[in-house]
Structure 1
Amino acid sequence: MLFTTLPVWLVGAHLTAAVLGLYTSAPKVTIVQTARAAPDSEAMIIEVRADDGRLGSGVRQVEFQVDSTSGTWKPLSLDSSSMTYKGTWTPEALTEGNHQIYVRATDNTGNPRTVHVTVEVSAPGSVFSAG
């Protein structure tokens, strides 16, 4: 009986906290890895950790964009075995040089946090992380 009433109480507590404005901080976001998917691959793996903390409302979504934060965000998928968000990017249309990968995590109350990393496209379709 306690198991069936506990989730209702917990949901009620989160709703109350959201209404009172207690969930005002955005999730913490860390880009764990930007690396080639394979030595001969043109695709890049993006791996991100996002955490809204013990008292937060939870992470709703994690997305990325290249060279801008005003275009269409592409979703990263949660890998439950490693608790990281992962996705791939293939830089077909980019010129050689440095580019920014922006990652945005949004919690369940709509608070976003955006971080970025610089990558270098060294030859058409060839990518490596610059830092």
Structure 2
Amino acid sequence: MPTLSIPAWSPSLEVGNAIIDADHKETVELLAEAAKASDTDLPAHFTAFAQHLRDHLAREEELMHQYGFPPTPIHVHEHNRVRLELEGIAKRMAAGNLALVRGYLTEVVPEWFINHKNTMDSATAAWIRSQGG
């Protein structure tokens, strides 16, 4: 799998919800910092990125529940999959597998982030707007 470029923040990454967009901007920034971190600094950067992502997913879920987003269970299922993935990567990082962490940050996360933003997050934001949010 070729290494994908980490997206730079731009308006094209917005979904039209201030909370989600602010979180996405921070996600992109933390991802870039983690991906370029030295081996010594990588664990701290990955840990910060993973915690931010968990917090972001929780905020999205609060919005889904608040606005009665019909496919909330599907979106939450995907979030839970990502949470489990983060746990697995953290365990491998603790065992010293920094190459896996780097591959995850530069190959897996960028592709997932763009796809998730374009599908589930865009649909969620559109629903919230349709409900007056």
TM-score relative to the length of structure 2: 0.22
Q: Which structure's residues are more often helix, by fraction? A: 2
Q: Which has the higher contact order (CA 8 A, sep 6+)?
A: 2
For the pair shown, which has the larger CA radius of gyration, 1 or 2?
1
Larger strand share, 1 or 2 = 1
